């Protein structure tokens, strides 16, 4: 009898839903902290539908990100690299020249793969995630993946239009607008999607090793895409740095909107 009780205590059943199915392990990164900014934002909107709360939070965050990105871009172009400012343009340019001097057929092919990881492959990846989330009814996870990319894209296009900067003065391997160097959209998208999803997934991991491996993979992937864009002569190092910040900003905006929508859902359940 003692053995039986001991075995039962060590093999406690997994949490189940009311339908008897195993409960989903929550993505804790998407949960609003009680009393936090997202929770208070949802409360300020009253008993509004979570979708409306999500939209308002997303647009508010996008507006803040746009202003911050444009101001940073103006600082880079008019202060950091300007001859009348700190004059770091030559240093910023020299790295691209070094990469261009060491181009080869193999490296060019590898760089093309890196660029594709930040565009076609990335968009396809997001579409597949969105479809999977619709099928499995993981609404906020799907919304995060889609809208993190949309926020990043909107920020990139508006910033590059408002803050024109000439691309590196080396032979460029792609034909794009010559004055849209800042920020790097490929780098920003890679951070927003790949690093953003790693952030969500690792919030469910309990193993420190698994978290370290996931983040190492994300950092390597972002670095690969960023180096590929500089190798192809499309962006300066400071443009890539700006892209990283835009990507992080897009993650924060999407997280805030998802958390606010989740808080609104909980409020409606308690009402």
172 C-beta neighbours (distance < 10 Å), count: 15
Provide the token pair at 91. Answer: 């240093």
Identify the pLDDT of residue 88: 86
Phi/psi of residue 89, each to 5°?
A: -60, -40
The answer to whether residue 28 scores a pLDDT higher than 90 is: no
Query: Which residue has better confidence, 8 or 169?
Result: 169
Look at residues 159, 177, 167, 181 and name the one whose alpha carbon lies nearest to residue 250: 159
* Residue 81 DSSP label: S
Collapsed DSSP state (helix, strand, coil) of residue 180:
strand
Answer yes or no: is 23 within a domain. no
- The domain tally of the chain equals 1
Answer yes or no: is 185 within a domain. yes
Answer yes or no: is 7 within a domain. no
DSSP secondary structure string for all residues of 106-155: HHHHHHHHHHHHTTHHHHHHHHHHHHHHHHHT-HHHHHHHHHHHHHHHHH
Per-residue pLDDT tens over the stretch 152-170: 999 999 999 999 999 999 9
Cis peptide bond N-terminal to 30, omega within 30: no
Identify the pLDDT of residue 7: 40
- pTM of the predicted model as reported, rounded to 2 decimal places: 0.89
pLDDT bracket for residue 270 (50, 70, 90): confident
Answer yes or no: is 24 within a domain. no
The per-residue pLDDT of the chain, averaged, comes to 89
Provide the CA 144 distance to its chain's centre, in angstroms. Answer: 9
Answer yes or no: is 244 within a domain. yes
pLDDT bracket for residue 186 (50, 70, 90): very high
pLDDT bracket for residue 205 (50, 70, 90): confident
Identify the pLDDT of residue 54: 96
Identify the pLDDT of residue 204: 86
Of the ranges 71-75, 205-209, 239-243, which one carries the lowest mean pLDDT score? 205-209
The residue range of the domain holding 152 is 48-270
Kindly state the helix (H) or strand (E) to which residue 209 belongs, with its residue range: helix 208-231
Identify the pLDDT of residue 12: 41
Answer yes or no: is 21 within a domain. no
The whole-angstrom separation of Cα 157 and Cα 189 is 12
Provide the token pair at 106. Answer: 């193999």
pLDDT bracket for residue 26 (50, 70, 90): low
Answer yes or no: is 99 within a domain. yes
Answer yes or no: is 5 within a domain. no
Look at residues 58, 43, 166, 184 and name the one whose alpha carbon lies nearest to residue 119: 184
Per-residue pLDDT tens over the stretch 188-201: 999 999 999 999 99
pLDDT bracket for residue 268 (50, 70, 90): confident
Query: Which residue has better confidence, 1 or 132?
Result: 132
């Amino acid at each position: 009898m003692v053995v039986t009780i001991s075995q039962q205590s060590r093999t406690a059943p997994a949490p189940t839903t009311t339908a008897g199915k195993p409960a989903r392990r929550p993505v804790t990164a998407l949960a609003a902290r009680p009393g936090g900014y997202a929770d208070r934002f949802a409360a300020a909107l009253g008993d509004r539908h979570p979708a409306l709360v999500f939209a308002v939070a997303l647009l508010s965050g996008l507006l803040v990100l746009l202003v911050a990105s444009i101001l940073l871009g103006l600082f880079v172009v008019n202060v950091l690299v300007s001859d009348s400012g700190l004059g770091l343009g030559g240093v910023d340019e020299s790295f691209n020249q070094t990469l261009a001097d060491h181009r080869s057929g193999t490296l060019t092919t590898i760089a093309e793969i890196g660029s594709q990881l930040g565009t076609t492959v990335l968009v396809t990846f997001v579409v597949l995630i969105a479809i999977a989330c619709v099928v499995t009814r993981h609404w906020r996870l799907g919304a995060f993946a889609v809208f993190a990319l949309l926020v990043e894209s909107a920020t990139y296009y508006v910033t590059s239009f408002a803050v024109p900067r000439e691309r590196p003065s080396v032979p460029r391997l792609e034909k794009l607008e010559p004055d849209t160097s800042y920020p790097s959209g490929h780098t920003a998208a890679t951070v927003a999607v790949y690093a953003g999803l790693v952030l969500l997934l690792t919030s469910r991991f309990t193993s420190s090793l698994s978290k370290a491996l996931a983040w190492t993979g994300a950092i390597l992937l972002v670095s690969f895409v960023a180096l590929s864009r500089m190798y192809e002569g499309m962006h300066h190092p400071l443009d890539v740095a700006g892209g990283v910040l835009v990507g992080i900003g897009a993650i924060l905006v999407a997280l805030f909107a998802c958390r606010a929508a989740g808080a609104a859902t909980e409020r409606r359940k308690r009402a």
